[in-house]
Amino acid sequence: MYENYTRPNVDDIFAGKMSKYALAIAVAKRAREITDEIQKDKTKGPCDKPVIVAVEEFKEHKFAILEPDVDD
């Protein structure tokens, strides 16, 4: 997968609904969860980089990013 990886368009992932900062934080948290899952389950072989997997999951809308409503 990593060899065929193309950088996703950020606008395609969240269509302007959230900040890029929120996306970066969400991807980092999900990548940490993936890393922890791999460390717990030693039977899993080598896989793609956790950050790439996390980005793909958000791109495929497997996870949603919730942001609080802020009234200015």
What's the pLDDT score for residue 46? 62
Note every long-range contact of 60-64, with CB atoms under 8 Å and residues 24 or more positions apart, other chains counting. Answer: 63/26, 63/30
Q: What is the pLDDT along the chain (72 residues), one digit of tens a residue?
A: 455 666 666 666 655 566 788 888 999 999 999 999 888 887 665 677 889 889 888 888 888 887 777 665
What's the pLDDT score for residue 22? 84
Structure tokens, 68: 């609080």
What's the pLDDT score for residue 32? 95
Full-model pTM: 0.69
What's the pLDDT score for residue 11? 64
